[in-house]
Chain A
C-alpha cells in the first residue's frame, strides 16, 4: 500500500463522505475524473473550433468582398479579425498581406510576407509578393532574389504558368525601371521556355523590342506569325523590329499588312509611311540604275536645302552670309557650293560628287535636326537611309 506516514494535512478531513479515502481509490477516481474531463474538453473544443472556423470564414469572406470592391483598408480589418480566430491560416495571412500591399502599407505587408516566407521559403506566391514589394521599394537585388525564388518556387496550382508569369512580371517591372540589362537576361531565359502561344510570343517580342534586342524580338514575332499569320500585333511588332534593324524592305510587308487589316493602327501606318519614303529616297539601295540614283541624290539635296532654309527662317538666322558662323550657316554654305553641280547628268558621270553631295545632305539634315528638332517625313527618311549605310549616326 502507499505509505501514508506522518500525514499532517489539516484539510484532509474536509473530504466529503462520498469521496474515496484510500489513496489507490483516490488515484483511480482521479483517473476516472480525468477521463470525464477529457471527454468534456474534447466536446467543448470541438464546438469551439467549429465556431472559430465559422467566424473566421465569415470575416474572411467580408475581407475578400472588400478587396474585390477596392476597399483594402476595410479588408485589412476584416482579415485581421479572421486571423484572430484561425491564427495560422496561410491563405488568410497571404490575403491580409496582399490587402496591406494594396493599401500601400508596404512595411506592414512586407513584415507579414516575411513571416509567411520564414514558414515556407519556397512558396512561389509569397516570394512573388515580396518581389513586388521590393520592386516598389526600388530594391532591385532583393526583387531579383524574391522573383527568382518565385520562378523556381512551389506553386499550388498551375506551377508552369505561374512560374512563367512571375518571370514575365519581373521582366515588365525591370523594363518599367529602365533596367534593360537585367530584363534582357530574364527575357532570354523566358524565351527558351515558352509554350506555343502567339500572344505570348508577341508579348515577349515587345519586351525584347523594349530592351533593344531586335533580332530576338523579330524571332518572337515570327514565331507568333507562324502560328497566327494574320495576328496584327505580331505583324506590327515584326515590322517595328525590321524597321529598327534598318531592314526596311522586310519591314514594309509586315507594316503594310498590319495597316491594311486595321486602318486605325496608329503605330504601323506612320512607320509604313516612313518606310516607303526611305525606300523611295535611299540612293544606296541595291539594284538602282545610275539615273535613279542621281535623281534620288538631287531630290535629297533639294530637300536638305529646303530644310536648312526653313529651319534658319524659323530661328531668324541669315543663311546668305559671306562669313558663316553658326553650324546652320556653315552647313548651308558647304551645301551651296555644290548647287551648280546638282544635276543628274553631272552626278551620273561623277560618283565622287555623289558621295560629296550625300555627305553634305546628311550634314545639313543633322545640323537642322540639332537646331530645329527631330526631322519628319522625307527629312527623317533621308537621315534613316543614311544611318542604314553608316552615314548618319547621330552624335
Chain B
C-alpha cells in the first residue's frame, strides 16, 4: 500500500515537473508563435475560409429547414402555404430588420464594399447574425431571393470580426473583408474560381498578388469545408453540351440580345421602383416585405417555381422539363417576383434569381430556335446554361465572372465560345442603355458613393504621353565638358536645369548654377558625368500618370525614354505637366466637383501610388 502511494506520488511529481517545463518553455520562448503580419494574413485567410464554409453550411441547412417547415417538403407547396408563408415570413423579417438588424437590408455585396471603402473593413458581427436569420426566413418562406450574396456578407463579417480581434493594421483590415467575402461566395456557389473573380471584379477592383493569395486560400478552404459536409454535387446537373454547327453561334448571339434586354428590364424596374418605396413613411417598412410576399404568393399559386432560390427549377429547365412558352413565362414572373422581394427591403441575394432568369431566358430562346431550326441548334439545356452566364454579364455586369462561372459550373471548355459571344452582347447592350451598373445604382440610391469598378475598368487612364512635352532646354551628353555645357546654356536663366544622358541609358540632371559653380572651381574641362549627381528615374510614354507622380518626388522633371532604347529621349515630364493633363481631362469630360474620380484610378485614395485627390 505504502509502496503504491509512493509510486503514485512519484508519477504526480514527474507530471507536474513536465507541465512546469512546458509552461516555462512557452513563457521563456522569445517568440513562440512568431508570425509576420503578411504570414498571419495568409493563415487568417485559411481560418476565415473554414469559418465561412462552416457558417455557409449551417446557413444552407437553415434555409432548407425553414422551407420545409414553412412550405412543406413537396416541390410544389400547397396553395394555402404558398399564399400565407411569404406574407408571414415578410412580416417577421421586416420586424427583425427594422428593430434589430437595420444593416442587413439588401443583397450584401454593396454592404461589403461599403465596409472596405467607408468603414475600414468593419462589419459588425450582429450583421452576420442578422443576415443569417433574416435571409433564412425570407428565402425559406418563399421570397424570390438567393443565398449567395448573403453568404458573401456572412463571410466578410466573419473576416472582419476576426481581423478586429487580431488588431490588424488598417490596410489589412480593409482587405480582410473581401477575403471573407470570397470565402462566403465560394462556399455558397461551390465554385471557388467564380467567387475569387467576382470579388476581384466587383469588390476590390484590382489584381494584387498579396490579396489574391489570401482570397484564393480562403475560397478554397471554404469550398473544401462545404464539399466535406454537403458533398461535391454541383448546384444543378449540367446537360451535355455540343455546338452543333458554327452557325449556331448566331443563335447564341440572339440569346445575348434577348438576355441583354431581359437584364435591362430587370435593372430598370429596380431603378425606378426602389427609390419610391424607400421614400415611403418608415412604418411602411414593416409592411413592404409582407406585401411583396403576398404578391409573390399570388404569382406562386400559378407558378410556384418562382418562389425561393429556385435551383431545382434551373435544373429542370436544363433538362428540358418545360416548353419554351413556360420558360418565358417563368423568366418574366421571376423578374417581377425578385424585384418585389428586393425592392421591399427583404434581405437576400440576387445571384440565384439572376441565374434562374438567365436559365429560363436561355431555355426559351433555345426552345424557339430549336423549333424553327432543329438541325442547327443544340439542346435547350445548353441554352439555359449559357443564358445563366448571359444574365450574369448583363444584369450584374461582371463579364469575367460570368464567363468563368459557366465554365466552372459546366466543366466543359467547349462552351466558352458561345458563352463569350452571348455574354459580350448582353453586357454591351446593358452598358449602352444602362450606364450605371446595378451595384453602383443601389449604392447611390442608398446615399453612398462607392467606387464603381466598372467605371474604373471602362475609363481610359491618362498616360505619360498625354502630359509629356519636348524639352525646352538643351540636353547634354555625359561626355560633354562643363565649359561646353555652360556655353550652350549661356542665354538661359540661372535656375534652368538640363538633362544629361549617359551612354548606358541612364539619365541625370544638372542646373546652370551647378555648372557655374564647377567653373568657379576651375573645372572647365571636367566631364559632365563627373559633375552631375545621382541618376534620375525614367518614365515611358505608355505608363499611367500616377506612376509618374509616384516617381516625381522632388525632381523638377523626369526624362521620358523609349522602352527599347533608354538613350532615346521621347520627352520630359514635370509636375505642372501632370497637373495640366488632369485639368484638361476634366474639362474635356465635362465633369465637375468631387463626385467624379480621375481617369485611371485603380488605387484607393491615400494609398501610395494611388491617384491624386479628387477634383485635382
Q: What is A's interface to B at a CB cutoff of 8 Å?
A: 1-12, 14-15, 19, 23-24, 26-27, 30-31, 34, 37-38, 40-42, 44-45, 48, 51-52, 55, 58-59, 77, 80-81, 83-85, 87-88, 107-108, 110-112, 114-115, 117-118
- Distance from B158 Cβ to chain A, minimum over Cβ atoms (Å): 10
Q: Are B381 and A111 in contact (CB under 8 A)?
A: yes
A36-B74 Cα distance, complex, nearest whole Å: 34
A201-B40 Cα distance, complex, nearest whole Å: 77
- The answer to whether A118 and B240 touch (CB under 8 A), given A9-B170, A42-B229, A77-B75, is yes
- The answer to whether A111 and B379 touch (CB under 8 A), given A11-B164, A12-B164, is yes
A332-B40 Cα distance, complex, nearest whole Å: 114
Q: Are B37 and A2 in contact (CB under 8 A)?
A: yes
* Residues in chain A near residue B312, CB distance under 8 A: 80, 83-84, 87
* Residues in chain A near residue B50, CB distance under 8 A: 34, 38
Interface residues of B in 53-79 (CB under 8 A from A): 54-55, 57-58, 61, 64-65, 68, 73-76
Interface segment among B27-35, B511-519, B584-592: the answer is: B27-35
Q: Which residue of B has the minimal Cβ distance to A113? A: B319
A110-B320 Cα distance, complex, nearest whole Å: 9
The proximity string for B residues 435-473 relative to A, scoring 1 for CB distances below 8 Å and 0 otherwise, is 000000000000000000000000000000000000000
* Residues in chain A near residue B239, CB distance under 8 A: 111, 114-115, 118
- Distance from B20 Cβ to chain A, minimum over Cβ atoms (Å): 20
- Distance from A11 Cβ to chain B, minimum over Cβ atoms (Å): 5
- Distance from A9 Cβ to chain B, minimum over Cβ atoms (Å): 6
- The answer to whether A80 and B316 touch (CB under 8 A), given A42-B229, A45-B57, is yes
- From B54, B164, B233, A88 is in contact (CB under 8 Å) with B233
* Residues in chain B near residue A3, CB distance under 8 A: 36-37
- Distance from B171 Cβ to chain A, minimum over Cβ atoms (Å): 9
A369-B287 Cα distance, complex, nearest whole Å: 89
A108-B316 Cα distance, complex, nearest whole Å: 9
- From B73, B166, B230, B319, A108 is in contact (CB under 8 Å) with B319
Q: Are B164 and A14 in contact (CB under 8 A)?
A: yes
Tell me whether B570 is interfacial, beta carbon within 8 Å. Answer: no
- From B75, B162, B318, A84 is in contact (CB under 8 Å) with B75
* Residues in chain A near residue B168, CB distance under 8 A: 7, 9
Q: Are A34 and B51 in contact (CB under 8 A)?
A: yes
The proximity string for B residues 290-316 relative to A, scoring 1 for CB distances below 8 Å and 0 otherwise, is 000000000000000000000010011
- The answer to whether A9 and B164 touch (CB under 8 A), given A2-B35, A2-B37, A81-B75, is yes
* Residues in chain B near residue A31, CB distance under 8 A: 47
Q: Are A26 and B166 in contact (CB under 8 A)?
A: yes
Tell me whether B165 is interfacial, beta carbon within 8 Å. Answer: yes
* Residues in chain B near residue A115, CB distance under 8 A: 237-240, 319
Q: Are A9 and B167 in contact (CB under 8 A)?
A: yes
Q: Are B165 and A19 in contact (CB under 8 A)?
A: yes
Tell me whether B369 is interfacial, beta carbon within 8 Å. Answer: no
- The answer to whether A87 and B381 touch (CB under 8 A), given A3-B36, A14-B164, is no
* Residues in chain B near residue A7, CB distance under 8 A: 167-169
Q: Which residue of B has the minimal Cβ distance to A117? A: B240
Q: Are A45 and B229 in contact (CB under 8 A)?
A: yes
Q: Are A23 and B166 in contact (CB under 8 A)?
A: yes
- Distance from A16 Cβ to chain B, minimum over Cβ atoms (Å): 10
Q: Are A8 and B319 in contact (CB under 8 A)?
A: no
* Residues in chain A near residue B75, CB distance under 8 A: 77, 80-81, 84
Q: Are B73 and A41 in contact (CB under 8 A)?
A: no
Tell me whether B173 is interfacial, beta carbon within 8 Å. Answer: yes
* Residues in chain A near residue B55, CB distance under 8 A: 37
Q: Which residue of A has the minimal Cβ distance to B319? A: A111
Q: What is B's interface to A at a CB cutoff of 8 Å?
A: 31-37, 40, 43, 47, 50-51, 54-55, 57-58, 61, 64-65, 68, 73-76, 120, 122, 162-170, 173, 229-231, 233, 237-240, 312, 315-316, 318-321, 379-381
* Residues in chain B near residue A6, CB distance under 8 A: 169-170
A104-B349 Cα distance, complex, nearest whole Å: 38
A8-B68 Cα distance, complex, nearest whole Å: 46
Instruction: Identify the interface centre among A2, A3, A52, A58: most chain B CB within 10 Å of its CB.
Output: A2
Q: Which residue of A has the minimal Cβ distance to B321? A: A108
Q: Which residue of A has the minimal Cβ distance to B237? A: A115
Q: Are B233 and A10 in contact (CB under 8 A)?
A: no
Q: Are B231 and A88 in contact (CB under 8 A)?
A: yes
Q: Are A2 and B40 in contact (CB under 8 A)?
A: yes
* Residues in chain B near residue A87, CB distance under 8 A: 233, 237, 312, 315
- The answer to whether A77 and B165 touch (CB under 8 A), given A1-B34, A27-B33, is no
A88-B231, A115-B238 known, 19 other contacts, Cβ within 8 Å:
A1-B31, A2-B35, A7-B167, A10-B120, A12-B164, A12-B165, A15-B165, A24-B33, A26-B162, A31-B47, A38-B54, A40-B58, A44-B58, A48-B64, A80-B75, A88-B237, A111-B379, A114-B379, A115-B240
Classify the interface of chain A: helix, strand, loop or mixed.
Answer: helix
- From A9, A26, A111, B320 is in contact (CB under 8 Å) with A111
* Residues in chain B near residue A40, CB distance under 8 A: 58
A14-B74 Cα distance, complex, nearest whole Å: 46
Q: Are B61 and A45 in contact (CB under 8 A)?
A: yes
* Residues in chain B near residue A117, CB distance under 8 A: 240
A112-B238 Cα distance, complex, nearest whole Å: 10
A24-B239 Cα distance, complex, nearest whole Å: 49
A88-B190 Cα distance, complex, nearest whole Å: 15
18 A-B interface contacts by CB (under 8 A)? A2-B35, A5-B169, A7-B167, A12-B167, A27-B43, A27-B47, A27-B166, A41-B58, A42-B229, A48-B65, A81-B73, A81-B75, A87-B233, A110-B320, A111-B379, A114-B239, A115-B237, A115-B240
* Residues in chain A near residue B319, CB distance under 8 A: 108, 111-112, 115
- The answer to whether A34 and B61 touch (CB under 8 A), given A23-B167, A84-B75, is no
A52-B51 Cα distance, complex, nearest whole Å: 24
* Residues in chain A near residue B170, CB distance under 8 A: 6, 8-9
- Distance from A40 Cβ to chain B, minimum over Cβ atoms (Å): 8
- Distance from A12 Cβ to chain B, minimum over Cβ atoms (Å): 5
A114-B380 Cα distance, complex, nearest whole Å: 13
A38-B228 Cα distance, complex, nearest whole Å: 11
Give the top 4 A-B pairs by smallest Cβ distance, nearest first: A111-B320, A111-B319, A81-B75, A45-B229
Q: Are B229 and A37 in contact (CB under 8 A)?
A: no
- From A24, A34, A107, A110, B47 is in contact (CB under 8 Å) with A34
A123-B451 Cα distance, complex, nearest whole Å: 53
Q: Which residue of B has the minimal Cβ distance to A8? A: B170
Q: Which residue of B has the minimal Cβ distance to A45? A: B229
Q: Are A41 and B229 in contact (CB under 8 A)?
A: yes
- The answer to whether A11 and B122 touch (CB under 8 A), given A2-B37, A115-B239, is yes
A42-B230 Cα distance, complex, nearest whole Å: 10
- Distance from B312 Cβ to chain A, minimum over Cβ atoms (Å): 5
* Residues in chain B near residue A59, CB distance under 8 A: 73
- From B47, B54, B240, A41 is in contact (CB under 8 Å) with B54
Instruction: Identify the interface centre among A7, A108, A111: most chain B CB within 10 Å of its CB.
Output: A111
A283-B238 Cα distance, complex, nearest whole Å: 73
Q: Are A2 and B229 in contact (CB under 8 A)?
A: no
* Residues in chain B near residue A51, CB distance under 8 A: 68
- The answer to whether A114 and B58 touch (CB under 8 A), given A2-B35, A10-B120, A55-B73, is no
- Distance from B240 Cβ to chain A, minimum over Cβ atoms (Å): 5
- Distance from A330 Cβ to chain B, minimum over Cβ atoms (Å): 55
* Residues in chain A near residue B76, CB distance under 8 A: 77
- The answer to whether A23 and B51 touch (CB under 8 A), given A1-B34, A6-B169, is no
* Residues in chain B near residue A4, CB distance under 8 A: 167
- Distance from A94 Cβ to chain B, minimum over Cβ atoms (Å): 13
* Residues in chain A near residue B35, CB distance under 8 A: 2
* Residues in chain A near residue B54, CB distance under 8 A: 34, 37-38, 41
Q: Which residue of A has the minimal Cβ distance to B53? A: A41
A80-B316 Cα distance, complex, nearest whole Å: 9
- Distance from B490 Cβ to chain A, minimum over Cβ atoms (Å): 52
Q: Which residue of A has the minimal Cβ distance to B64? A: A48
A4-B76 Cα distance, complex, nearest whole Å: 55
- Distance from B24 Cβ to chain A, minimum over Cβ atoms (Å): 17
Q: Which residue of B has the minimal Cβ distance to A29? A: B165
